[in-house]
Chain A
Amino acid sequence: MNQDIKKNSIIRLFNVSKRYNGKFALKDINLDIEQGEFIQISGPSGAGKSTLLKVLYLAEKVSEGQILIDGMNLARISSSRLPLLRRRFGMVFQDFKLIPNRTVYENVALVLEAAGEKSDYIRKKVMQVLRTTDMDKKAKALPLTLSGGEQQRVAVARALVGEPSIILADEPTGSLDTKSAQVVLDFIMEYHKKGATVLIATHNLHLLESTVRGKNIEITEGTIKRTATML
């Protein structure tokens, strides 16, 4: 069973480099991530953790190398197919990226509206996810009236509502207190247990090490320094 999963690569990076003004943010990255894996990307600030996630969801294009997502070559993906690719990702950001003038419900529903889902399904699914993340009572609230932890829970709900196969989380606990951070990680972990692949860029190693079994990829100055298994 374990062997079968290992053959099923969902993300593959071949000699990926990213340069900004001639300076390497990522250099010669090779990665092979299997479906259902939990990957923690660690490293100091400016090491290239966020850039690695950005090139995966095509917020940035690579300077060199190739990325395959479930067999799809990102370099050859047309602009019309890009939204379809992004719907396979659930993204969580350190700054939450919630739309300030939309309610909690509307922020989460946006994912399903963009995917063209029917309104009945959207209503049902959004409320279900908000209940899971314990934010259903604040469905009508605006993001700025919520605490940091609550905002991040909404962001997690938004990332999970589309039932993505891959979760990309960029410092999701970076601006939260320990308790809120643990709650957010628990939600992500719960979803991971259902089979989702998770890539999480964080400097909060202690929080993850205590709860997660997976792989830790340490990045320094844009290159992979070490890959270790977390037990």
Chain B
Amino acid sequence: MSHFIKKALSDIRLNRFLNLVTIFTISLSILVVSVFMLFFENAGRVIEAWNQGGRAMVYLKDNFTKDMLLEIKEKINNVGNIQEMVFISKDEALDRLRKEVSPNSAFLKTLQGNPLPNAFEIKMKSYNNIEEVETFAKKIKEIEIVEDVEYGQGWLGKFLKIFNLFKITGYAMCGLFFLIALFITSNTVRLAFYSRKIEVEVMRLVGATETFIKAPFYMEGILQGFIGGILGLVILLVAYLMISSGITQGLSSYIYFDIRFLSIKTIILIILVSTFLGWFGCYLSLKQILK
């Protein structure tokens, strides 16, 4: 094994330029794939966070009286998919508003009476898609005393649509770059093979097995894939460290989460895929040459 690794490293050294181009191409492909993975992982966390703490506000009409409370609670409960339901009276809502807004604000000073409605804050158990949330909200809205249901329909719907669009684009781009990297790796092995044609011929003549002949090529492909994968991830990490703090600070008032780097699981997966890519490119090439 160590013989083949040494041989592969020496061959990489001998064909430095060709191997560097291949490693760089693989690393770029891995970089593109990793960028999408980074986006999916972080976007997934946002959705998961919303999913776990998904809240809907049910605003009640002005003619609500506290006598109706139990009856309405029961009606809302009957809709199902409710984990927690808290009644917030209009007085309580105003108290909350006063705590959140500066006491000297012009808005509070000019406020006469309490314009806020009575409401229920509902925490949903779970949902799978935006349509489910919409149906849920529609059913609650059908209750006579309910004025409106707010569940973040505007931004969530848009976010999910963009997320799905990115997902499709991401898959297509990943597939495309995978094919490009595969093509380049396969071509490098082919060129390496032709440049070592005499060597292969001599090896055969002196009684080398096919495994002995092919092993250094496979090792070279695997090393190219492995190094390319790590290089791609390092480039992503550097870019992430440079950009992420700025983004998190800039968006901190809009989003309540930090952008995290890829999980260890994803990093290992990417390196494995990249290594496989190197091996597979080599396999395709040798299969064609040695058939």
Contacts and interface: CB of A to CB of B under 8 A. Distances in A.
Interface of A: 57, 59, 79-80, 83-87, 89, 91, 97-102, 110-111, 113-115, 119, 158, 162
Contacts of A110: 202-203, 206, 208
Contacts of B203: 110, 114
Contacts of B199: 99, 101-102
A87 B202 contact: no
A171 to B, nearest CB: 16
Contacts of B3: 113, 119
Given A113-B3, A114-B212, A86 B205 contact: yes
Nearest to A93: B205
- Most A CB contacts (10 A, CB to CB) among B199, B205, B207, B209 go to B207
Nearest to A79: B210
A169 B89 CA distance: 104
Contacts of B14: 101
A69 to B, nearest CB: 13
B198 interface: yes
Contacts, number: 51
B207 A97 contact: no
B202 A99 contact: yes
Nearest to B209: A83
A143 to B, nearest CB: 11
Interface of B: 3, 14, 198-199, 201-210, 212
A119 B3 CA distance: 9
A87 B205 contact: no
A162 B198 contact: no
B198 A111 contact: no
A205 B14 CA distance: 42
A99 B205 contact: no
A162 B212 CA distance: 17
Contacts of B204: 83, 86
Contact of B206 (A79, A80, A100, A114): A114
A91 B203 CA distance: 12
A63 B205 CA distance: 21
A91 B205 contact: yes
Contacts of B201: 97
For the complex of A and B, the 7 pairs showing the least CB-CB separation, nearest first, are A87-B207, A114-B208, A86-B207, A83-B207, A111-B206, A99-B199, A83-B209
13 contacts: A79-B210, A83-B207, A83-B212, A86-B206, A86-B207, A89-B207, A97-B198, A101-B199, A111-B207, A114-B207, A115-B207, A119-B3, A162-B206
A100 B197 CA distance: 11
B8 to A, nearest CB: 14
Contact of B205 (A84, A97, A113, A115): A97
Contact of B198 (A79, A80, A99): A99
Contacts of A87: 206-207
Which of A85, A102, A110 has the most chain B CB atoms closer than 10 A to its own CB?
Answer: A110
Contacts of A57: 205
A119 to B, nearest CB: 8
A100 B198 contact: yes
B207 A84 contact: yes
Contacts of A101: 14, 199
Nearest to B213: A114
Contacts of B212: 83, 113-114
A45 to B, nearest CB: 22
B196 to A, nearest CB: 8
B287 to A, nearest CB: 15
A85 B204 CA distance: 11
Given A97-B201, A100-B198, A114-B206, 8 more contacts: A83-B212, A87-B207, A91-B206, A101-B14, A101-B199, A113-B3, A114-B203, A115-B207
Contacts of A80: 209
Contacts of A84: 207
Contacts of B202: 97-99, 110
A158 B207 contact: no
A127 B209 CA distance: 24
Nearest to A95: B198
Contacts of A83: 204, 207-209, 212
Contacts of A158: 206
A158 to B, nearest CB: 7
A158 B208 CA distance: 14
A91 B199 CA distance: 15
B20 to A, nearest CB: 18
Nearest to A97: B202
Contacts of B209: 80, 83, 114
A85 to B, nearest CB: 8
